Structure 1
Amino acid sequence: MAHSATKRSDITLSNCGYSKVLDIISSKWAALVIYAMENGKIRYGQMLRRVEGISKKMLTQTVRKLERDGLVQRHITPTVPVSVEYSLTALGESLLQPMKTLRQWGRDNYTQVVEARVKYDFVGTPDSVPTSPITSS
């Protein structure tokens, strides 16, 4: 009797570099907040105005998460009132180019994605497409 080796998954969430990166930038706001800092230091209020639709609470949570991940740093200037600016760290800046590439892919291809979705929704799921009928003679 042949011995069957146990097949091990070679793609896992715990070891996948893609999923780890997506965990960092895939929140609704993270990429937009990173883009808000791509030109250097920016004040909180400026970011709030630049990122359309983000609430103060969500901006604060997003900046804190990115700071925790080592992508953003906070600069405090002891003025009255205290001035706080945010910028990308070297690690955060190293993420800009891959994100810009992904953004360009979206600009170049998203229309095709929308067309595919419309076609899929119109035709239905692959499971709902009838198979070729068996005809009797």
Structure 2
Amino acid sequence: MKKSNSSNAINKEFLHRSCSVNEAIDLISGRWKALIIIYIHEGQNRFSLLKNILSPISDQILGRQLKDLEQNGLISKTIVPEVPVRVDYELTAKGKSLLSIFDSLEEWIAS
């Protein structure tokens, strides 16, 4: 559990209030989040599919990244009551809106 009165939390709060770009970057920061968003968009929408395509990632990290993306409203999680239970992920409207931003970032980095 993170302390809300730690200097890190105070700095983060200040940066988010001062510049919304910092908040946006914080939402998608982490070495796996952009790829997870892209792969979910491309149809790799289950934990096992993501795990296979992102083979170096641990189960724990993948689970944490998916949870963060869901909590931040970028993906939604649907539990399909089958045997065995299936969990599908899909991009929310907010998550889909990142795709064009990612395209722009790719163009920017290539220039």
Answer yes or no: same fold by TM over 0.5: yes
| Structure 2 Cα separation of the partners of residues 26 and 78 of structure 1 | 32
Q: How does 1:1-137 map to 2 (within 5 A)?
A: 13=15, 14-40=17-43, 42-106=45-109, 108-109=110-111
Does the CA-based 8 Å contact 1:74-1:86 persist in structure 2?
Answer: yes
Larger Rg: 1
Q: List alignment gaps of at least 5 residues for structure 1.
A: 1-11, 110-137
SS at structure 2 position matched to 1:42: coil
Question: Matched residue pairs, number?
Answer: 97
What TM-score do the two structures reach when normalised by structure 1? 0.65
Deviation, 1:51, is 2.0
SS at structure 1 position matched to 2:90: strand
SS at structure 1 position matched to 2:78: strand
Deviation, 1:40, is 4.3
Superposition CA RMSD, Å: 1.6
Q: List alignment gaps of at least 5 residues for structure 2.
A: 1-13
Deviation, 1:39, is 2.4
Provide the identity percentage: 35
Which amino acid is the alignment partner of residue 81 of structure 1? Answer: P
Deviation, 1:28, is 1.3
Over 4 Å off, 4+ runs: none
SS at structure 2 position matched to 1:37: helix
